[in-house]
Structure 1
Amino acid sequence: MARASLNGIEIDYEATGAGPVVLLSHGYSATRRMWDDQHRALGDRYRVISWSMRGHGATDSPADPAHYSAPLTVADIRALLGHLGVERAVIGGLSLGGYVSLGFALEHPQMTRALVICDSGPGYRSADAREAWNARARERAGALETRGLDALGASREVRESASLHRSAQGLAHAARGMLAQEGSRVIDGLAAIRVPTLIIVGDQDQPFLAPCEYMAKKIPGARLEVIRGAGHSSNLDQPEAFNRVLLDFLDSLPPA
Protein backbone atom coordinates (compact mmCIF):
# COMPACT_ATOMS: atom_id res chain seq x y z
CA MET A 1 0.00 0.00 0.00
CA ALA A 2 1.17 3.50 -0.87
CA ARG A 3 -0.37 6.96 -0.93
CA ALA A 4 0.09 10.00 -3.13
CA SER A 5 -1.25 13.55 -2.77
CA LEU A 6 -2.61 14.35 -6.22
CA ASN A 7 -5.30 16.69 -7.57
CA GLY A 8 -6.18 17.80 -4.04
CA ILE A 9 -6.80 14.31 -2.61
CA GLU A 10 -4.86 11.39 -1.14
CA ILE A 11 -4.92 8.42 -3.53
CA ASP A 12 -4.34 4.89 -2.29
CA TYR A 13 -2.44 2.73 -4.77
CA GLU A 14 -0.15 -0.26 -5.13
CA ALA A 15 2.74 -0.70 -7.57
CA THR A 16 4.57 -4.02 -7.83
CA GLY A 17 6.83 -5.86 -10.24
CA ALA A 18 9.17 -4.60 -12.95
CA GLY A 19 8.87 -4.19 -16.69
CA PRO A 20 6.34 -2.51 -18.99
CA VAL A 21 3.61 -0.78 -16.99
CA VAL A 22 0.03 -2.04 -16.70
CA LEU A 23 -2.39 0.21 -14.82
CA LEU A 24 -5.67 -1.36 -13.67
CA SER A 25 -8.80 0.48 -12.48
CA HIS A 26 -11.56 -1.21 -10.47
CA GLY A 27 -15.32 -1.21 -10.89
CA TYR A 28 -17.79 0.97 -9.02
CA SER A 29 -17.88 0.18 -5.27
CA ALA A 30 -14.89 -2.16 -5.52
CA THR A 31 -11.31 -1.12 -4.65
CA ARG A 32 -7.80 -1.67 -5.98
CA ARG A 33 -7.72 -4.95 -4.03
CA MET A 34 -9.81 -6.64 -6.73
CA TRP A 35 -6.58 -6.76 -8.78
CA ASP A 36 -4.45 -8.51 -6.15
CA ASP A 37 -4.26 -11.73 -8.16
CA GLN A 38 -3.10 -9.83 -11.24
CA HIS A 39 -0.29 -8.28 -9.21
CA ARG A 40 0.86 -11.80 -8.37
CA ALA A 41 0.35 -13.25 -11.85
CA LEU A 42 1.98 -10.43 -13.84
CA GLY A 43 4.60 -9.14 -11.42
CA ASP A 44 7.54 -11.16 -12.71
CA ARG A 45 7.26 -9.56 -16.19
CA TYR A 46 5.28 -6.37 -15.75
CA ARG A 47 5.04 -3.40 -13.40
CA VAL A 48 1.43 -3.52 -12.22
CA ILE A 49 -0.28 -0.45 -10.75
CA SER A 50 -3.72 -0.58 -9.15
CA TRP A 51 -5.47 2.24 -7.36
CA SER A 52 -8.71 3.13 -5.60
CA MET A 53 -10.85 5.87 -7.11
CA ARG A 54 -12.28 8.88 -5.28
CA GLY A 55 -14.83 7.80 -2.69
CA HIS A 56 -13.56 4.22 -2.71
CA GLY A 57 -11.47 2.24 -0.24
CA ALA A 58 -8.66 4.17 1.42
CA THR A 59 -8.62 6.97 -1.17
CA ASP A 60 -10.09 10.28 0.04
CA SER A 61 -13.80 11.00 -0.25
CA PRO A 62 -14.19 14.74 -0.89
CA ALA A 63 -17.23 16.31 0.76
CA ASP A 64 -18.08 18.35 -2.35
CA PRO A 65 -20.06 16.25 -4.86
CA ALA A 66 -18.63 18.41 -7.67
CA HIS A 67 -15.28 16.69 -7.03
CA TYR A 68 -16.52 13.42 -8.56
CA SER A 69 -16.73 12.89 -12.32
CA ALA A 70 -15.40 10.71 -15.12
CA PRO A 71 -13.08 13.52 -16.37
CA LEU A 72 -11.66 13.94 -12.86
CA THR A 73 -11.10 10.18 -12.68
CA VAL A 74 -9.19 10.34 -15.97
CA ALA A 75 -7.18 13.24 -14.53
CA ASP A 76 -6.40 11.17 -11.43
CA ILE A 77 -5.02 8.35 -13.62
CA ARG A 78 -2.89 10.88 -15.48
CA ALA A 79 -1.61 12.38 -12.23
CA LEU A 80 -0.82 8.98 -10.71
CA LEU A 81 1.18 7.92 -13.76
CA GLY A 82 3.06 11.21 -13.64
CA HIS A 83 3.75 10.76 -9.94
CA LEU A 84 5.27 7.35 -10.67
CA GLY A 85 7.32 8.62 -13.61
CA VAL A 86 5.35 6.62 -16.19
CA GLU A 87 5.13 8.14 -19.65
CA ARG A 88 3.23 5.30 -21.37
CA ALA A 89 1.29 2.30 -20.07
CA VAL A 90 -1.22 -0.39 -20.86
CA ILE A 91 -4.43 1.07 -19.46
CA GLY A 92 -7.08 -1.35 -18.23
CA GLY A 93 -10.10 -1.65 -16.03
CA LEU A 94 -13.28 -3.52 -15.21
CA SER A 95 -16.82 -2.13 -15.47
CA LEU A 96 -16.56 1.57 -14.47
CA GLY A 97 -12.80 1.12 -14.60
CA GLY A 98 -13.09 0.02 -18.22
CA TYR A 99 -15.25 3.02 -19.10
CA VAL A 100 -12.78 5.51 -17.63
CA SER A 101 -9.92 3.62 -19.34
CA LEU A 102 -11.60 4.29 -22.68
CA GLY A 103 -11.94 7.92 -21.66
CA PHE A 104 -8.26 8.05 -20.76
CA ALA A 105 -7.23 6.58 -24.13
CA LEU A 106 -9.28 9.20 -25.96
CA GLU A 107 -7.92 12.04 -23.80
CA HIS A 108 -4.29 10.85 -23.65
CA PRO A 109 -3.59 8.63 -26.67
CA GLN A 110 0.13 9.34 -26.47
CA MET A 111 0.25 7.78 -22.99
CA THR A 112 -1.80 4.71 -23.90
CA ARG A 113 0.28 1.76 -25.12
CA ALA A 114 -2.70 -0.60 -25.24
CA LEU A 115 -6.16 -1.07 -23.70
CA VAL A 116 -7.66 -3.90 -21.64
CA ILE A 117 -11.42 -3.42 -21.17
CA CYS A 118 -13.20 -5.96 -18.94
CA ASP A 119 -16.92 -6.50 -18.38
CA SER A 120 -17.67 -2.94 -19.39
CA GLY A 121 -19.46 -0.78 -21.92
CA PRO A 122 -18.90 2.47 -23.83
CA GLY A 123 -21.98 4.33 -22.63
CA TYR A 124 -24.94 5.40 -24.74
CA ARG A 125 -25.77 7.59 -27.72
CA SER A 126 -29.45 7.56 -26.83
CA ALA A 127 -30.32 10.22 -24.26
CA ASP A 128 -33.21 8.05 -23.02
CA ALA A 129 -30.96 5.03 -22.47
CA ARG A 130 -28.37 7.19 -20.73
CA GLU A 131 -31.01 8.70 -18.45
CA ALA A 132 -32.27 5.22 -17.51
CA TRP A 133 -28.70 4.26 -16.55
CA ASN A 134 -28.24 7.48 -14.61
CA ALA A 135 -31.55 6.96 -12.78
CA ARG A 136 -30.23 3.62 -11.52
CA ALA A 137 -27.00 5.33 -10.44
CA ARG A 138 -28.99 7.91 -8.49
CA GLU A 139 -31.02 5.13 -6.86
CA ARG A 140 -27.79 3.48 -5.70
CA ALA A 141 -26.61 6.79 -4.28
CA GLY A 142 -29.86 7.28 -2.40
CA ALA A 143 -29.72 3.78 -0.95
CA LEU A 144 -26.18 4.37 0.31
CA GLU A 145 -27.23 7.62 1.96
CA THR A 146 -30.20 5.90 3.60
CA ARG A 147 -28.73 2.54 4.56
CA GLY A 148 -24.99 3.17 4.56
CA LEU A 149 -22.55 0.52 3.38
CA ASP A 150 -25.23 -2.16 3.94
CA ALA A 151 -26.70 -0.96 0.64
CA LEU A 152 -23.74 -2.18 -1.40
CA GLY A 153 -24.54 -4.72 -4.09
CA ALA A 154 -23.98 -8.46 -4.02
CA SER A 155 -21.47 -8.91 -6.86
CA ARG A 156 -18.24 -10.60 -5.89
CA GLU A 157 -15.92 -7.62 -6.31
CA VAL A 158 -18.28 -5.53 -4.18
CA ARG A 159 -18.69 -8.16 -1.45
CA GLU A 160 -14.93 -8.59 -1.15
CA SER A 161 -14.39 -4.82 -0.91
CA ALA A 162 -17.21 -3.94 1.51
CA SER A 163 -15.02 -3.90 4.61
CA LEU A 164 -12.41 -1.71 2.88
CA HIS A 165 -14.66 1.31 2.26
CA ARG A 166 -14.58 4.24 4.65
CA SER A 167 -17.43 6.44 3.40
CA ALA A 168 -20.92 5.56 2.22
CA GLN A 169 -21.35 9.23 1.33
CA GLY A 170 -18.23 9.11 -0.84
CA LEU A 171 -19.65 6.14 -2.72
CA ALA A 172 -22.95 7.98 -3.12
CA HIS A 173 -21.15 10.99 -4.58
CA ALA A 174 -19.21 8.63 -6.86
CA ALA A 175 -22.44 7.04 -8.09
CA ARG A 176 -23.92 10.41 -9.04
CA GLY A 177 -20.74 11.90 -10.43
CA MET A 178 -18.64 9.01 -11.82
CA LEU A 179 -21.02 6.10 -12.48
CA ALA A 180 -23.61 8.39 -14.03
CA GLN A 181 -22.72 9.46 -17.56
CA GLU A 182 -22.83 12.69 -19.52
CA GLY A 183 -22.84 12.81 -23.30
CA SER A 184 -21.68 10.22 -25.81
CA ARG A 185 -17.99 11.11 -26.24
CA VAL A 186 -16.71 7.65 -25.34
CA ILE A 187 -19.01 5.61 -27.56
CA ASP A 188 -18.58 8.13 -30.39
CA GLY A 189 -14.79 7.88 -30.08
CA LEU A 190 -14.38 4.10 -30.30
CA ALA A 191 -13.43 4.11 -33.98
CA ALA A 192 -10.68 6.66 -33.26
CA ILE A 193 -8.82 4.32 -30.89
CA ARG A 194 -5.60 3.24 -32.57
CA VAL A 195 -3.88 1.07 -29.95
CA PRO A 196 -4.06 -2.72 -29.49
CA THR A 197 -7.19 -3.46 -27.49
CA LEU A 198 -8.25 -6.55 -25.57
CA ILE A 199 -11.88 -6.85 -24.49
CA ILE A 200 -12.70 -9.49 -21.89
CA VAL A 201 -16.18 -10.46 -20.72
CA GLY A 202 -17.62 -13.33 -18.71
CA ASP A 203 -20.05 -15.56 -20.58
CA GLN A 204 -22.52 -15.14 -17.68
CA ASP A 205 -22.25 -11.33 -17.61
CA GLN A 206 -25.46 -10.89 -19.58
CA PRO A 207 -25.81 -7.09 -19.33
CA PHE A 208 -22.32 -6.57 -20.75
CA LEU A 209 -21.96 -9.27 -23.41
CA ALA A 210 -23.58 -7.14 -26.11
CA PRO A 211 -21.68 -3.94 -25.18
CA CYS A 212 -18.39 -5.86 -25.27
CA GLU A 213 -19.23 -7.35 -28.65
CA TYR A 214 -20.13 -3.86 -29.88
CA MET A 215 -16.81 -2.40 -28.72
CA ALA A 216 -14.91 -5.26 -30.37
CA LYS A 217 -16.56 -4.38 -33.68
CA LYS A 218 -16.06 -0.63 -33.41
CA ILE A 219 -12.47 -0.43 -32.10
CA PRO A 220 -10.15 -1.19 -35.03
CA GLY A 221 -8.37 -4.52 -34.57
CA ALA A 222 -9.84 -5.17 -31.12
CA ARG A 223 -9.69 -8.72 -29.76
CA LEU A 224 -12.67 -10.14 -27.85
CA GLU A 225 -12.22 -12.94 -25.31
CA VAL A 226 -15.22 -14.52 -23.56
CA ILE A 227 -14.33 -16.25 -20.28
CA ARG A 228 -16.40 -19.36 -19.63
CA GLY A 229 -17.97 -19.64 -16.20
CA ALA A 230 -17.39 -15.98 -15.34
CA GLY A 231 -19.88 -13.28 -14.43
CA HIS A 232 -19.34 -9.55 -14.03
CA SER A 233 -16.05 -10.04 -12.14
CA SER A 234 -14.25 -12.13 -14.72
CA ASN A 235 -10.82 -11.70 -13.11
CA LEU A 236 -12.16 -12.92 -9.76
CA ASP A 237 -14.55 -15.61 -11.05
CA GLN A 238 -12.03 -17.36 -13.31
CA PRO A 239 -8.59 -15.95 -12.43
CA GLU A 240 -6.50 -18.61 -14.20
CA ALA A 241 -8.36 -18.22 -17.51
CA PHE A 242 -8.39 -14.43 -17.15
CA ASN A 243 -4.65 -14.23 -16.44
CA ARG A 244 -3.86 -16.58 -19.30
CA VAL A 245 -5.76 -14.39 -21.78
CA LEU A 246 -4.31 -11.19 -20.33
CA LEU A 247 -0.71 -12.41 -20.38
CA ASP A 248 -1.06 -13.73 -23.92
CA PHE A 249 -2.22 -10.27 -25.02
CA LEU A 250 0.44 -8.37 -23.09
CA ASP A 251 3.22 -10.64 -24.35
CA SER A 252 2.05 -10.08 -27.93
CA LEU A 253 2.47 -6.29 -27.80
CA PRO A 254 5.34 -4.60 -29.61
CA PRO A 255 8.25 -3.70 -27.31
CA ALA A 256 7.50 -0.73 -25.06
Structure 2
Amino acid sequence: MPYINSNGVNLYFEETGAGDAVLFIHEFAADYRTWEQQVRRFSRDYRCITFNARGYPPSDVPADDSDYTYQMQRDDILAILDHLGIGSAHLVGLSMGAYAGLQFALSFPDRVRSLVFCSGGSGAAPGGRDTFVQDTIAGANRMEAEGMVAGAEGLALGATRIQLLNKDPRGWAEFRQYLAEHSAYGSAQTLRNGQALRPSLHDFEEELAALDVPVLLAVGDEDDPVIETNIFLKRTLPRAGLWIEPRTGHGLNLEEPGEFNRRVAAFFSAVERDRWLPRDPRAAPGRSVFMGDQDGN
Protein backbone atom coordinates (compact mmCIF):
# COMPACT_ATOMS: atom_id res chain seq x y z
CA MET A 1 0.00 0.00 0.00
CA PRO A 2 1.27 3.54 -0.76
CA TYR A 3 1.80 5.77 2.27
CA ILE A 4 3.06 9.28 2.97
CA ASN A 5 4.60 10.12 6.34
CA SER A 6 3.29 13.33 7.89
CA ASN A 7 4.78 14.26 11.25
CA GLY A 8 5.24 10.58 12.10
CA VAL A 9 1.77 9.48 10.93
CA ASN A 10 1.43 7.33 7.82
CA LEU A 11 -1.33 8.45 5.46
CA TYR A 12 -2.72 6.07 2.86
CA PHE A 13 -3.19 7.63 -0.57
CA GLU A 14 -4.08 6.74 -4.15
CA GLU A 15 -3.41 8.63 -7.37
CA THR A 16 -5.00 8.24 -10.78
CA GLY A 17 -4.48 10.04 -14.07
CA ALA A 18 -1.97 12.60 -15.27
CA GLY A 19 -1.79 16.37 -15.66
CA ASP A 20 -2.36 19.20 -13.21
CA ALA A 21 -2.98 17.94 -9.68
CA VAL A 22 -6.32 17.75 -7.90
CA LEU A 23 -6.25 16.75 -4.22
CA PHE A 24 -9.53 15.49 -2.75
CA ILE A 25 -9.95 15.92 1.04
CA HIS A 26 -12.76 13.89 2.60
CA GLU A 27 -15.29 14.77 5.29
CA PHE A 28 -15.59 13.37 8.83
CA ALA A 29 -18.15 10.71 7.86
CA ALA A 30 -16.38 9.61 4.68
CA ASP A 31 -13.02 8.45 3.36
CA TYR A 32 -11.05 8.33 0.11
CA ARG A 33 -13.53 5.86 -1.43
CA THR A 34 -16.39 8.38 -1.45
CA TRP A 35 -14.59 10.43 -4.12
CA GLU A 36 -14.83 7.58 -6.64
CA GLN A 37 -17.33 9.30 -8.94
CA GLN A 38 -15.12 12.38 -9.01
CA VAL A 39 -11.91 10.44 -9.63
CA ARG A 40 -13.48 8.62 -12.58
CA ARG A 41 -14.43 11.95 -14.14
CA PHE A 42 -11.41 14.11 -13.37
CA SER A 43 -8.66 11.52 -13.86
CA ARG A 44 -9.38 11.81 -17.59
CA ASP A 45 -7.83 15.28 -17.49
CA TYR A 46 -6.00 15.61 -14.16
CA ARG A 47 -3.69 13.85 -11.74
CA CYS A 48 -6.15 12.95 -9.00
CA ILE A 49 -4.99 12.22 -5.46
CA THR A 50 -7.21 10.86 -2.70
CA PHE A 51 -6.13 9.95 0.81
CA ASN A 52 -7.44 8.93 4.19
CA ALA A 53 -7.05 11.40 7.01
CA ARG A 54 -5.16 10.47 10.15
CA GLY A 55 -7.39 8.25 12.31
CA TYR A 56 -8.98 6.61 9.25
CA PRO A 57 -7.56 3.16 8.41
CA PRO A 58 -5.60 2.16 6.43
CA SER A 59 -3.96 5.44 7.51
CA ASP A 60 -2.51 5.33 11.00
CA VAL A 61 -4.72 5.80 14.05
CA PRO A 62 -2.38 7.61 16.46
CA ALA A 63 -2.98 7.49 20.20
CA ASP A 64 -2.20 11.07 21.25
CA ASP A 65 -4.75 13.86 21.35
CA SER A 66 -2.18 16.22 19.83
CA ASP A 67 -2.16 14.19 16.61
CA TYR A 68 -5.76 15.14 15.76
CA THR A 69 -5.74 18.94 15.68
CA TYR A 70 -6.94 20.99 12.74
CA GLN A 71 -3.36 22.19 12.30
CA MET A 72 -2.26 18.58 11.80
CA GLN A 73 -4.95 18.11 9.16
CA ARG A 74 -3.72 21.26 7.43
CA ASP A 75 -0.11 20.10 7.57
CA ASP A 76 -1.05 16.69 6.17
CA ILE A 77 -2.01 18.45 2.94
CA LEU A 78 1.43 20.03 2.81
CA ALA A 79 3.12 16.67 3.43
CA ILE A 80 1.19 15.07 0.57
CA LEU A 81 1.98 17.81 -1.92
CA ASP A 82 5.65 17.84 -0.91
CA HIS A 83 6.00 14.06 -1.05
CA LEU A 84 4.46 13.92 -4.53
CA GLY A 85 6.47 16.87 -5.82
CA ILE A 86 3.40 19.03 -6.47
CA GLY A 87 4.03 22.76 -6.41
CA SER A 88 0.38 23.78 -6.40
CA ALA A 89 -2.90 21.91 -6.76
CA HIS A 90 -6.61 22.33 -7.08
CA LEU A 91 -8.03 21.37 -3.66
CA VAL A 92 -11.49 19.82 -3.38
CA GLY A 93 -12.61 19.51 0.23
CA LEU A 94 -15.89 18.38 1.75
CA SER A 95 -16.96 19.55 5.23
CA MET A 96 -14.02 18.68 7.52
CA GLY A 97 -11.92 18.53 4.37
CA ALA A 98 -13.20 21.92 3.24
CA TYR A 99 -12.18 23.48 6.55
CA ALA A 100 -8.71 21.88 6.30
CA GLY A 101 -8.37 23.05 2.70
CA LEU A 102 -9.27 26.63 3.60
CA GLN A 103 -6.86 26.65 6.53
CA PHE A 104 -4.17 25.35 4.18
CA ALA A 105 -4.94 28.12 1.70
CA LEU A 106 -4.62 30.72 4.46
CA SER A 107 -1.22 29.34 5.46
CA PHE A 108 0.16 28.38 2.04
CA PRO A 109 -1.73 30.36 -0.63
CA ASP A 110 1.02 29.88 -3.22
CA ARG A 111 0.44 26.11 -3.08
CA VAL A 112 -3.29 26.40 -3.90
CA ARG A 113 -4.38 26.85 -7.49
CA SER A 114 -8.02 26.83 -6.44
CA LEU A 115 -10.25 25.56 -3.65
CA VAL A 116 -13.65 23.89 -3.80
CA PHE A 117 -15.12 24.49 -0.34
CA CYS A 118 -18.03 22.03 -0.29
CA SER A 119 -20.51 21.63 2.59
CA GLY A 120 -18.06 23.41 4.86
CA GLY A 121 -18.90 24.78 8.28
CA SER A 122 -17.22 27.37 10.42
CA GLY A 123 -16.55 25.33 13.51
CA ALA A 124 -18.66 26.94 16.21
CA ALA A 125 -20.98 29.70 15.05
CA PRO A 126 -20.66 33.07 16.82
CA GLY A 127 -22.23 32.88 20.27
CA GLY A 128 -22.65 29.11 20.16
CA ARG A 129 -19.22 27.78 21.00
CA ASP A 130 -19.97 26.24 24.39
CA THR A 131 -22.97 24.30 23.10
CA PHE A 132 -21.09 23.21 19.98
CA VAL A 133 -18.15 21.87 22.00
CA GLN A 134 -20.41 20.06 24.48
CA ASP A 135 -22.47 18.41 21.72
CA THR A 136 -19.41 17.39 19.71
CA ILE A 137 -17.63 15.83 22.68
CA ALA A 138 -20.81 14.02 23.72
CA GLY A 139 -21.06 12.60 20.21
CA ALA A 140 -17.43 11.47 20.35
CA ASN A 141 -17.95 9.72 23.68
CA ARG A 142 -21.06 7.94 22.44
CA MET A 143 -19.34 6.86 19.22
CA GLU A 144 -16.39 5.41 21.11
CA ALA A 145 -18.65 3.64 23.64
CA GLU A 146 -21.17 2.19 21.17
CA GLY A 147 -18.88 1.52 18.20
CA MET A 148 -18.94 2.52 14.57
CA VAL A 149 -21.82 0.30 13.45
CA ALA A 150 -24.18 2.15 15.79
CA GLY A 151 -22.46 5.43 14.99
CA ALA A 152 -22.82 4.89 11.26
CA GLU A 153 -26.52 4.14 11.58
CA GLY A 154 -27.13 7.31 13.55
CA LEU A 155 -25.04 9.56 11.30
CA ALA A 156 -26.42 8.12 8.07
CA LEU A 157 -29.97 8.91 9.20
CA GLY A 158 -29.13 12.45 10.29
CA ALA A 159 -31.08 15.49 9.14
CA THR A 160 -28.57 16.34 6.39
CA ARG A 161 -28.05 12.72 5.23
CA ILE A 162 -31.61 11.59 4.68
CA GLN A 163 -31.57 13.36 1.30
CA LEU A 164 -29.03 10.81 0.00
CA LEU A 165 -31.21 7.94 1.20
CA ASN A 166 -34.24 9.37 -0.61
CA LYS A 167 -32.35 10.01 -3.86
CA ASP A 168 -30.03 7.01 -4.01
CA PRO A 169 -30.72 4.18 -1.52
CA ARG A 170 -27.90 2.08 -2.97
CA GLY A 171 -25.40 4.94 -2.63
CA TRP A 172 -26.65 5.66 0.89
CA ALA A 173 -26.15 2.01 1.90
CA GLU A 174 -22.59 2.12 0.56
CA PHE A 175 -21.93 5.38 2.44
CA ARG A 176 -23.24 3.82 5.67
CA GLN A 177 -21.14 0.69 5.16
CA TYR A 178 -17.95 2.67 4.61
CA LEU A 179 -18.69 4.70 7.74
CA ALA A 180 -19.24 1.55 9.80
CA GLU A 181 -15.76 0.36 8.80
CA HIS A 182 -14.03 3.40 10.31
CA SER A 183 -12.10 3.32 13.58
CA ALA A 184 -14.31 4.31 16.50
CA TYR A 185 -11.27 5.56 18.40
CA GLY A 186 -9.89 7.52 15.44
CA SER A 187 -13.27 9.06 14.69
CA ALA A 188 -13.88 9.98 18.34
CA GLN A 189 -10.44 11.56 18.60
CA THR A 190 -11.09 13.51 15.41
CA LEU A 191 -14.31 14.88 16.90
CA ARG A 192 -12.83 15.72 20.31
CA ASN A 193 -9.56 17.29 19.24
CA GLY A 194 -10.22 18.45 15.69
CA GLN A 195 -13.87 19.33 15.22
CA ALA A 196 -14.64 20.48 18.77
CA LEU A 197 -11.51 22.56 19.33
CA ARG A 198 -10.94 24.15 15.94
CA PRO A 199 -11.56 27.90 15.87
CA SER A 200 -14.52 29.39 14.08
CA LEU A 201 -13.86 30.68 10.58
CA HIS A 202 -15.46 33.92 11.74
CA ASP A 203 -12.30 34.42 13.80
CA PHE A 204 -10.31 34.65 10.55
CA GLU A 205 -12.38 37.34 8.83
CA GLU A 206 -9.45 39.70 8.24
CA GLU A 207 -7.24 36.94 6.82
CA LEU A 208 -10.05 35.60 4.64
CA ALA A 209 -10.71 39.05 3.20
CA ALA A 210 -7.10 39.21 2.05
CA LEU A 211 -6.95 35.68 0.56
CA ASP A 212 -6.23 35.89 -3.19
CA VAL A 213 -7.23 32.32 -4.09
CA PRO A 214 -10.13 31.32 -6.37
CA VAL A 215 -12.81 29.59 -4.30
CA LEU A 216 -16.01 27.79 -5.27
CA LEU A 217 -18.36 27.56 -2.30
CA ALA A 218 -20.78 24.65 -2.76
CA VAL A 219 -23.65 23.81 -0.43
CA GLY A 220 -27.00 22.04 -0.47
CA ASP A 221 -30.04 24.11 0.47
CA GLU A 222 -31.08 21.53 3.10
CA ASP A 223 -27.65 21.54 4.76
CA ASP A 224 -28.91 24.03 7.31
CA PRO A 225 -25.96 23.98 9.75
CA VAL A 226 -23.54 25.36 7.16
CA ILE A 227 -25.57 27.64 4.87
CA GLU A 228 -24.92 30.81 6.88
CA THR A 229 -21.19 30.08 6.96
CA ASN A 230 -21.10 29.91 3.19
CA ILE A 231 -22.95 33.21 2.88
CA PHE A 232 -20.42 34.75 5.27
CA LEU A 233 -17.56 33.38 3.18
CA LYS A 234 -19.12 34.62 -0.06
CA ARG A 235 -19.25 38.11 1.39
CA THR A 236 -15.72 37.91 2.80
CA LEU A 237 -13.53 36.03 0.32
CA PRO A 238 -12.66 38.33 -2.60
CA ARG A 239 -12.56 35.56 -5.26
CA ALA A 240 -15.42 33.33 -4.12
CA GLY A 241 -18.47 32.18 -6.00
CA LEU A 242 -21.43 30.49 -4.28
CA TRP A 243 -23.37 27.55 -5.69
CA ILE A 244 -26.43 26.38 -3.75
CA GLU A 245 -27.93 23.10 -4.98
CA PRO A 246 -31.68 22.70 -4.31
CA ARG A 247 -33.16 19.81 -2.33
CA THR A 248 -29.72 18.62 -1.27
CA GLY A 249 -28.05 17.80 2.04
CA HIS A 250 -24.46 17.46 3.25
CA GLY A 251 -22.98 14.84 0.92
CA LEU A 252 -23.29 16.99 -2.18
CA ASN A 253 -20.78 15.00 -4.26
CA LEU A 254 -22.67 11.77 -3.54
CA GLU A 255 -26.18 13.15 -3.91
CA GLU A 256 -25.60 15.04 -7.15
CA PRO A 257 -22.39 13.64 -8.67
CA GLY A 258 -23.16 14.72 -12.23
CA GLU A 259 -23.90 18.33 -11.30
CA PHE A 260 -21.00 18.40 -8.85
CA ASN A 261 -18.57 17.24 -11.52
CA ARG A 262 -19.96 19.68 -14.08
CA ARG A 263 -19.72 22.66 -11.74
CA VAL A 264 -16.23 21.79 -10.54
CA ALA A 265 -14.99 21.21 -14.11
CA ALA A 266 -16.34 24.61 -15.15
CA PHE A 267 -14.69 26.20 -12.12
CA PHE A 268 -11.32 24.62 -12.91
CA SER A 269 -11.63 25.80 -16.51
CA ALA A 270 -12.36 29.38 -15.44
CA VAL A 271 -9.42 29.37 -13.04
CA GLU A 272 -7.06 27.96 -15.66
CA ARG A 273 -8.14 30.65 -18.14
CA ASP A 274 -7.68 33.32 -15.47
CA ARG A 275 -11.37 34.15 -15.63
CA TRP A 276 -12.33 33.54 -11.96
CA LEU A 277 -11.75 37.16 -11.06
CA PRO A 278 -12.20 39.11 -7.82
CA ARG A 279 -15.63 40.55 -7.23
CA ASP A 280 -16.15 43.80 -9.10
CA PRO A 281 -16.22 46.60 -6.50
CA ARG A 282 -19.26 48.00 -8.27
CA ALA A 283 -21.12 44.91 -7.02
CA ALA A 284 -20.31 45.66 -3.37
CA PRO A 285 -23.36 44.89 -1.19
CA GLY A 286 -23.26 48.35 0.39
CA ARG A 287 -23.86 50.18 -2.89
CA SER A 288 -27.28 51.25 -4.07
CA VAL A 289 -29.10 48.78 -6.30
CA PHE A 290 -30.62 51.69 -8.24
CA MET A 291 -27.84 54.17 -8.95
CA GLY A 292 -24.06 54.37 -8.89
CA ASP A 293 -22.08 57.19 -7.35
CA GLN A 294 -22.17 60.74 -8.67
CA ASP A 295 -19.35 60.03 -11.09
CA GLY A 296 -21.52 57.45 -12.83
CA ASN A 297 -19.43 54.48 -11.69
Equivalent residue for 1:179, pick from 195, 205, 229: 195
Identity across aligned pairs (percent)? 35
**How far apart are residue 184 of structure 1 and its match?**
4.2
1:161 counterpart residue number? 178
Residue 268 of structure 2 corresponds to residue 250 of structure 1: yes
Q: How does 1:206-221 map to 2 (within 5 A)?
A: 206-221=224-239
Three-state SS of the structure 2 residue aligned to 1:211 is: helix
The equivalent residue for 1:170 is: 186
Q: What residue number does 1:67 align with?
A: 67
Structure 2's unaligned 5+ residue stretches are 162-171, 275-297
Q: What is the alpha-carbon root mean square deviation over aligned residues?
A: 1.9
Shift of 1:158: 5.3
2:134 counterpart letter in structure 1: A
Shift of 1:204: 1.9
1:92-111 matches, within 5 Å, as 92-111=92-111
2:244 is aligned to 226
Q: Distance in 1 between matches of 2:123 and 2:10?
A: 28
Contact persistence 1:54–1:68 (CA under 8 A): yes
Residue 48 in structure 1 maps to residue 48 in structure 2: yes
Count of residue pairs the alignment pairs up: 254
Q: CA deviation at 1:187?
A: 3.6
In 1: Cα distance, 2:243 partner to 2:252 partner: 11
- Distance between the aligned counterparts of 2:218 and 2:57, measured in 1? 25
Superposition pairs of residues 3-152 of structure 1, within 5 angstroms: 3-124=3-124, 126=126, 128-149=127-148, 150-152=150-152
Query: Structure 1 238/160 Cα, relative in aligned 2: closer, same or farther at 3 Å?
Result: farther
Deviation (angstroms), 1:16: 1.0
1:169 and 1:54 map into 2 onto residues whose CA distance is 11
Return structure 1 stretches of 4+ with deviation > 6 angstroms: none
**1:30-75 CA deviation, whole Å, 9 max, x = no partner?**
1111111110011111111111111123211101122110001111
Task: Establish whether residue 198 from structure 1 lines up as the match of residue 197 from structure 2.
Answer: no
Paired residue secondary structure (1:253):
helix
* Aligned amino acid, residue 48 of structure 2: V
Match of 2:259 in 1: 241
> Which whole-Å CA distance do the structure 2 matches of 1:228 and 1:182 have between them?
29
Displacement of 1:124? 4.4
Secondary structure at 2:197 match in 1: coil
**Tell me, which stretches of 5 or more residues in structure 1 are unaligned?**
none
Report the Cα distance in structure 1 between the residues aligned to 2:199 and 2:179, rounded to whole angstroms. Answer: 30
* CA 1:174–1:123: 2 relative to 1, 3 Å: closer
1:164 Cα offset (Å): 3.5
Structure 1 CA distance for aligned equivalents of residues 4 and 239 of structure 2: 36
1:111 Cα deviation after fit: 0.6
Evaluate the alpha carbon distance shift between residue 88 and residue 162 of structure 1 in structure 2; reply closer, same or farther with a 3 A threshold. same
After TM superposition, the score normalised by the length of structure 2 is 0.80
User: 1:212 and 1:158, CA in 2 relative to 1: closer, same or farther beyond 3 A?
Assistant: farther
Contact 1:123 1:187 in 2 (8 A): no
Conserved 8 A contact 1:26-1:32: yes
Q: TM-score, normalised by structure 1?
A: 0.92
What CA distance in whole angstroms lies between the structure 2 residues aligned with 1:145 and 1:164? 13
Once the 2 structures are TM-superposed, how far is the Cα of residue 2 of structure 1 from its aligned partner?
2.8
Distance in 2 of aligned mates of 1:174 and 1:212: 23
